């Protein structure tokens, strides 16, 4: 097993996760079996209780763990299904060590950060690296991304664990890629000083950056590379320029052009292999059409709905259609804005802020025959909207929102739940689709597996009334409603599950594919670059 450690320098938000995922893709294209681990140095056990507005989307894995959004990037770039073991947090590490201490496993010892916490970290990394991934051969290479920036107090034990691993393993079995910022000064010159300082900080911890990936707005030229090479003590071919590109799926190709694959395989003592370029072909397919989609939600930050944004892109690419997304603030948008779009998407969410705006948008899409895709809370609000408008139940609402007729009720098993961490209905569930429905048509089969994250469901008491009024429930897991649709509408589909988490660039999610296709059909948009007469 070879380990590629990815550290961050200068500041956060440089795209370390995308770099890690891209490195994985480059190696996978050469036939290596790759797995990936994300280390988050915060004290939370997992990302499930964190505000997505601050930390970005909570990604949900097949096994139901709620993890950092970078695991979504790994799954999308590497086309693998990860597990909770692949997201290590300070919270998990300390919990395990403290549990062992209470059990008496360390009887007589003073339990300390070194060696007990660092041993635990190393063991977590090894467990994750060797964890069997369904449908994949055993991994030969493990990417380990260390969240945060070198120099942060909270990432120290993790970097110390990396230092120890480097000492324990043969030199060709580990490599450190340091992802850093190369800013421009007011004269437009690229500056290497912040990188020199962060490499120095790494050195103080006993770590040497073998490869530096420099993030900048424009490509880093030879002059700057030479400077980094001299000051940071590494050959010039190990200084890789990673200028910002319009689409994240171009990053592996750009890194490939910079010679990262050769630098890496040389370090790791792996022979040269030709790269399979099929993945590149799929992700860089030309757009000939364009559609515009509104996402009506309370958060306007792109990272909050990262998987939805990517799933729309995957579906769009496969239809040669660029999906232009506009975020409409559910509390503030005006109804007249809705007619500007080819489709309306209401994503998942929690709490009542912005809820009337979401319901209003669903109502508008239903009545104006505009393609609509509802996800989780969007599915629940489609039920509320139908009950209010079609059945005339003005007091219809969700138990999560307030008093009234609860067409959306708490899941029975959720009534006993006490804590909030990891207690929702989470992860994979098997769903049966009704034959002859839109759901069955878009999936092309009757049995599907999709991921969940919710506490509420369609109240079984009101299903007969809703169905009698024309709402079609077309997917079920047991007696739980999972998909709804309207037969006399161009495309009105909503799911209790989150199809966005399983979408991959090479395998777009069926509900997204159906939705984008319907958006394109609604508005035979001109090919990009063409002038509309």
Binding residues for ligand GLN, rule: CB under 6 A, are 348-350, 376-377, 400, 453-456
* Shortest Cβ 174–ligand GLN spacing (Å): 39
* Shortest Cβ 304–ligand GLN spacing (Å): 12
CA distances from 337 to 248, 309, 326, 342, 343 (A): 29, 20, 11, 12, 12
Query: Which of 181, 180, 141, 117 lies closest to 37 in space, CA to CA?
Result: 141
**Would you tell me the crossing angle of helices 16-28 and 260-267 to the nearest 10 degrees?**
80
Helix (H, G, I), strand (E, B) or coil at 324: strand
Considering the complex, state which of residue 360 and residue 490 has its C-beta at the smaller distance from ligand GLN. Answer: 360
Helix (H, G, I), strand (E, B) or coil at 56: coil
Helix (H, G, I), strand (E, B) or coil at 146: strand
Query: Which of 336, 179, 357, 165 lies closest to 251 in space, CA to CA?
Result: 179
Neighbours of 271 (CB within 10 A): 7
Considering the complex, state which of residue 339 and residue 415 has its C-beta at the smaller distance from ligand GLN. Answer: 415
Active-site residue among 232, 289, 498, 519?
A: 498
Q: Are 371 and 515 in contact (CB under 8 A)?
A: yes
Sheet holding 239-243, edge to edge: 87-89, 34-40, 141-146, 2-8, 174-181, 211-216, 239-243
Q: Across 204-301, where does the E strand assignment appear?
A: 211-216, 239-243, 289-297
Q: Are 370 and 363 in contact (CB under 8 A)?
A: no
Active-site residue among 66, 75, 258, 500?
A: 500
Rounded Cα distance, 199 and 184, in Å: 19
Considering the complex, state which of residue 157 and residue 347 has its C-beta at the smaller distance from ligand GLN. Answer: 347
Q: Is the peptide bond before 432 cis (omega within 30 degrees of 0)?
A: no
Concerning whether 178 is annotated as a catalytic residue, the answer is no
Rounded Cα distance, 330 and 298, in Å: 5
Rounded Cα distance, 248 and 132, in Å: 27
Concerning whether 223 is annotated as a catalytic residue, the answer is no
Considering the complex, state which of residue 291 and residue 458 has its C-beta at the smaller distance from ligand GLN. Answer: 458
CA distances from 209 to 7, 57, 292 (A): 9, 30, 43
Neighbours of 413 (CB within 10 A): 10
Per DSSP, what are the bridge partners of residue 6?
A: 145, 177
Considering the complex, state which of residue 118 and residue 297 has its C-beta at the smaller distance from ligand GLN. Answer: 297
Considering the complex, state which of residue 270 and residue 301 has its C-beta at the smaller distance from ligand GLN. Answer: 301
Phi, then psi, of 320 in degrees rounded to 5: 55, 35
Residue-by-residue DSSP string for 487-518: TTSSSEEEESS-GGGG-BTTB--HHHHHHHHH
Considering the complex, state which of residue 343 and residue 374 has its C-beta at the smaller distance from ligand GLN. Answer: 374
* Shortest Cβ 398–ligand GLN spacing (Å): 7
Considering the complex, state which of residue 238 and residue 377 has its C-beta at the smaller distance from ligand GLN. Answer: 377
Concerning whether 519 is annotated as a catalytic residue, the answer is no
CA distances from 239 to 263, 311, 478 (A): 9, 33, 55
Considering the complex, state which of residue 363 and residue 398 has its C-beta at the smaller distance from ligand GLN. Answer: 398
Active-site residue among 124, 238, 376, 519?
A: 376
Rounded Cα distance, 166 and 171, in Å: 7
**Would you tell me the crossing angle of helices 70-78 and 16-28 to the nearest 10 degrees?**
20
H helices within 131-269, ranges in order? Answer: 156-168, 193-204, 222-232, 251-257, 260-267
* Shortest Cβ 367–ligand GLN spacing (Å): 24
Considering the complex, state which of residue 400 and residue 440 has its C-beta at the smaller distance from ligand GLN. Answer: 400
Q: Across 302-446, where does the E strand assignment appear?
A: 321-329, 343-346, 372-375, 396-398, 405-410, 425-433
Decide the pairing of beta strands 492-495 and 480-485: antiparallel
- Please identify every residue annotated as catalytic: 376, 498, 500
């Amino acid at each position: 097993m070879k380990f590629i450690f990815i550290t961050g320098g200068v500041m956060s938000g440089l795209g370390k996760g995308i770099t890690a995922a891209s490195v994985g893709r480059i190696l996978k294209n050469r036939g290596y079996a790759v797995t990936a681990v994300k280390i988050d140095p915060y004290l939370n056990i997992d990302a499930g209780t964190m505000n997505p507005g601050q930390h970005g989307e909570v990604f949900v894995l097949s096994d139901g763990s709620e993890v950092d959004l970078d695991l979504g990037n790994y799954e999308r770039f590497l086309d693998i299904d990860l597990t909770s073991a692949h997201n290590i947090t300070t919270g998990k590490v300390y919990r395990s060590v403290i549990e062992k201490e209470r059990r008496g496993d360390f009887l007589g010892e003073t339990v300390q950060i070194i060696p007990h916490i660092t041993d635990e970290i190393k063991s977590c990394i090894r467990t994750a690296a060797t964890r069997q991934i369904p449908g994949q051969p055993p991994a030969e290479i493990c990417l380990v991304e260390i969240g945060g920036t070198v120099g942060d107090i909270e990432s120290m034990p993790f970097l110390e664990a990396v230092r120890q691993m480097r000492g324990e393993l043969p030199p060709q079995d580990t490599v450190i890629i340091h992802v850093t910022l190369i800013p421009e000064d007011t004269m437009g010159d690229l500056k290497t000083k912040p990188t020199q300082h962060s490499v120095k900080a790494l050195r103080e911890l006993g770590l040497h950056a073998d490869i530096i990936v420099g993030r900048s707005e424009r490509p880093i030229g030879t002059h700057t590379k030479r400077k980094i090479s001299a000051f940071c003590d590494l050959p010039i071919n190990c200084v890789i320029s990673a200028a910002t590109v319009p689409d994240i799926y171009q990053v592996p190709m750009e890194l490939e052009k910079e010679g990262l694959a050769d630098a890496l395989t040389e370090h790791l003592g792996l022979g040269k292999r030709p790269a399979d370029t099929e993945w590149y072909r799929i992700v860089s397919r030309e757009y000939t059409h364009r559609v515009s989609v509104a996402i009506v939600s309370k958060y306007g930050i792109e990272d909050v709905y990262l998987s939805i944004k990517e799933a729309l892109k995957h579906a769009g690419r496969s239809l040669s259609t660029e999906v232009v997304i506009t975020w409409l603030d559910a509390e503030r948008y005006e109804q007249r804005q809705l007619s500007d779009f080819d489709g309306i998407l209401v994503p998942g969410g929690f709490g009542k802020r912005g809820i009337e705006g979401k319901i209003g948008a669903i109502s508008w899409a239903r009545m104006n025959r505009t393609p609509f895709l509802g996800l989780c809370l969007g599915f629940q609000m489609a039920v509320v909207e139908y009950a209010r408008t079609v059945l005339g139940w003005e007091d219809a609402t969700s138990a999560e929102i307030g008093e009234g007729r609860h067409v959306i009720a708490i899941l029975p098993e959720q009534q006993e739940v006490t804590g909030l961490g990891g207690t929702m209905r989470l992860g994979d569930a098997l769903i049966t689709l009704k034959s002859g429905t839109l759901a069955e048509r878009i999936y092309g089969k009757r049995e599907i597996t999709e991921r969940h994250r919710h506490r509420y469901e369609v109240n079984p008491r009101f299903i007969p009334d809703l169905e009698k009024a024309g709402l079609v429930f077309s997917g079920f897991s047991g007696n739980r409603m999972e998909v709804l649709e309207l037969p006399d509408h161009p495309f009105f589909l909503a799911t209790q599950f989150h199809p966005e988490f399983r979408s991959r660039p090479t395998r777009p999610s069926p509900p997204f594919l159906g939705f984008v296709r319907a958006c394109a059909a609604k508005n035979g948009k001109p090919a990009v670059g063409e002038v509309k007469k």
